[in-house]
Structure 1
Amino acid sequence: MDIRAYLKSENMTLSSFAARLGCSVTTLHGYISGRRNIPLRVVGEIEKVTNGQVKAADWLARYKNEGIAA
């Protein structure tokens, strides 16, 4: 599942999700938009925080498909 779809399905704001991850909204937005490289530990934490609904493999596939270095 895409992170945006997850946030919508959970009726969660970017701000509250960033707080759960322990990062700023600006940083999280950078990860989502692809402007900021997402560390592998954060990808794993997102999968954990979302109870597996947003999978690490989905993030990594997105980065590979868009030619973004992880």
Structure 2
Amino acid sequence: MLNTFSGVEREIHVDASSPCDRDLERIRDAVEQAVRYAIERARTAAAAFIKALSPAPATATEEAA
């Protein structure tokens, strides 16, 4: 199985018949899911932060003045 994370590739050899390797595979999957969730939350927070810093669009009354 090829695991790619942040452009770094490494080969992971997992023997599905080994209980230890099955546990490691589940842990790896859980960590990968947690990292993806954290990245998505960070992107959402960054977008909200950038939106909050952006100037509000001018209203019709401000443009008329």
Normalising by structure 1, what TM-score?
Answer: 0.27
Larger radius of gyration: 2
Structure with the higher fraction of residues in strand conformation: 2
